[in-house]
Amino acid sequence: MVVLDATIVNIALPSAQEALHISTADRQWIVTAYTLTFGGLLLLGGRIADYFGRKRTFLIGLLGFAGASALGGAAVNAGTLFAARGLQGLFGALLAPAALSLITVTFTEAKERAKAFGVFGGISGGGAAIGLLAGGVLTEYADWRWCLLVNIPIAILAFAAAVPLVRESKASGDTRYDIPGAVLVTAGQVALVYGFTKAATDGWSSSVTVTWLASAVALLGAFLFWESRTAHPLLPLRVLFDRNRGASYLVSVLLGAGMLGMFLFMTFYLQQTLGWSAMKSGVAYMPFSGGIIAAAVIASRLLPRTGPKILMSVGGVLATAAMVWLTRLDLDSSYAVQILPSFVAMSLGMGLVFVPMSSLALQGVANHDAGVASAMVNTTQQVGGSLGTALLNTIFTTALAGYVTDHAASAASGGAAGAQLLQAHAAIHGYNVAFTASAVLLAVATVVVIVMVRNPKTDATTSTIEAAPAHFG
């Protein structure tokens, strides 16, 4: 539900914009109001789950997410919809780390944990593509509001199952909150995401962009300094600076940024260049969802035997090759020949990476830090996705404008038809340049895996959370 909501509104966005009379300049807030609050508050949400109780936090997150979805589905103006999306991000920041930390402290046996992370990785990896499919179906056959209202029955079912089945657990010992750290890291992440978002619209050199990015650097630097000094850190640096864990977080950022390029620009390509409907575009992503789930099942079975490094390396190479293949798109590329093979290779690669990456990020984490380590997995994915949106959209816009400038003279003789054809070719050029940048990000992620990840087989599937059962309610 949380991952799906990051993408389900994308296809429904034009309908929501028209219905609520949202300006072109403001429509981005339908997406960024969610990602800003979600990414900015995840670390605090992880600590709340650790200290307040993971089951209790999970249940509160479910109810709050459902309520925010109801508010968004009933929105009568832009402000209400933006506020509802922000509230979804807030409760998602409670829900996501609570869910992952519950898995961490519940499944302590190697094979069972591998299976659990296989399910979790498949759902997380496929959620974005499923959101695009669901958005197309609901927008075309029901109403754009159902892209938000669909969360209500999901949340109710999950709540009804969690009350009798999920056991409570919480951290023991020091459970005081690091309020200054929470303020610094939340403000820093919001400034960073917003700065990159503004770069996509105002340019990298604009005073607004530079001010926000400089503020982000200052705030995040102050956060790291504070965390190294305070006795009750929100993010203990031991969680961040473990070699394998740090590598998994870095890979998560790069994958989030790189994969979003495929979703963002492929959706534009299918609908604007090929002229496909929202429904047809959503269906086109189904092989991607299936491939992620299949690869996640395979990875969960192989992980105890191979360790994380081999799976993540192979997955990274597959994903990078798939993105390179997409750089060859033209005005009438065949879905079966050009797009489908890329989707299959990309999904298999991502599935092979997601499962061991999630497990690696939580290996050796003490019960006391399970929530914050879980939150970092989600935080890095959200930050990566947000930064990728701004970075790749800026690259696309620059490439498109440059192509139009370079070829304007030759297109002038063709009149209106020539100008239209020029814009179409410029868009293709922009897509291919953006896909090239995405391929570079995925290649860097693969290099990080090969260079930084250590591969003892037991590392990927065991943990030092021996004390966890003692804290179940």
- pLDDT given at position 200: 65
pLDDT score of 464 more than 70? no
The pLDDT tens digits for 302-361 are 988 888 999 999 999 999 999 999 999 999 899 999 999 999 999 999 989 988 998 888
Mean pLDDT along residues 31-57? 83
- pLDDT given at position 61: 95
- pLDDT given at position 456: 56
- pLDDT given at position 73: 93
- pLDDT given at position 77: 93
Q: Give the C-alpha separation, 68 to 66, whole Å.
A: 5
- pLDDT given at position 66: 95
> What one-letter code names the amino acid at 145?
R
Report which of residues 276 and 234 the model is more confident about: 276
- pLDDT given at position 215: 96
Which residue reads 């599935």 in tokens? 351
- 471 neighbors 172 (Cβ within 8 angstroms): yes
Q: Give the C-alpha separation, 120 to 355, whole Å.
A: 8
Mean pLDDT along residues 273-296? 84
Which residue reads 């296809």 in tokens? 11
Whether domain 4-168+234-464 has CATH 1.20.120.450: the reply is no
pLDDT score of 455 more than 80? no
Q: At what angle do helices 415-452 and 370-412 cross, to 10 degrees?
A: 150
> What one-letter code names the amino acid at 256?
G
Q: Give the C-alpha separation, 181 to 235, whole Å.
A: 8
- pLDDT given at position 175: 67
Mean pLDDT along residues 145-163? 93
Report which of residues 436 and 381 the model is more confident about: 436
Report which of residues 337 and 381 the model is more confident about: 337
pLDDT score of 256 more than 50? yes
Q: Name residues whose C-beta falls within 8 Å of residue 282's C-beta, 6 or more positions apart in sequence.
A: 11, 132, 133, 134, 135, 136, 137
- pLDDT given at position 460: 40
Tell me phi and psi for residue 411, to 5 degrees: -85, -20
Q: Name residues whose C-beta falls within 8 Å of residue 359's C-beta, 6 or more positions apart in sequence.
A: 113, 114, 117, 303, 308, 460, 461
Residue ranges of the alpha helices (H) in 20-109? Answer: 29-52, 54-73, 78-106
- 33 neighbors 80 (Cβ within 8 angstroms): no
- Per domain, the residue ranges of the chain are 4-168+234-464, 178-233
Q: Give the C-alpha separation, 425 to 404, whole Å.
A: 9
Mean pLDDT along residues 294-299? 88
Nearest to 2 by CA among 375, 294, 411, 313: 375
Mean pLDDT along residues 281-307? 85
- pLDDT given at position 466: 30
- 342 neighbors 325 (Cβ within 8 angstroms): yes
pLDDT score of 368 more than 90? no
Mean pLDDT along residues 277-299? 84
Mean pLDDT along residues 226-249? 85
Q: Give the C-alpha separation, 82 to 34, whole Å.
A: 8
Q: What six digits make up the tokens of 242?
A: 């473990």
pLDDT score of 419 more than 60? yes
Q: Give the C-alpha separation, 149 to 35, whole Å.
A: 19
- 291 neighbors 122 (Cβ within 8 angstroms): no
pLDDT score of 467 more than 70? no
pLDDT band at 463 (very low <50, low <70, confident <90, very high): very low
The pLDDT tens digits for 44-54 are 888 788 888 99
Nearest to 131 by CA among 306, 329, 263: 263
The DSSP symbol for 167 reads P
Q: Give the C-alpha separation, 207 to 78, whole Å.
A: 27
The pLDDT tens digits for 91-125 are 998 998 888 888 878 887 877 877 887 787 667 66
Q: What percent of the chain has pLDDT over 90?
A: 31
Mean pLDDT along residues 37-66? 87
Mean pLDDT along residues 455-459? 53
Mean pLDDT along residues 150-168? 92
Mean pLDDT along residues 401-413? 80
Tell me phi and psi for residue 309, to 5 degrees: -65, -45
- pLDDT given at position 470: 29
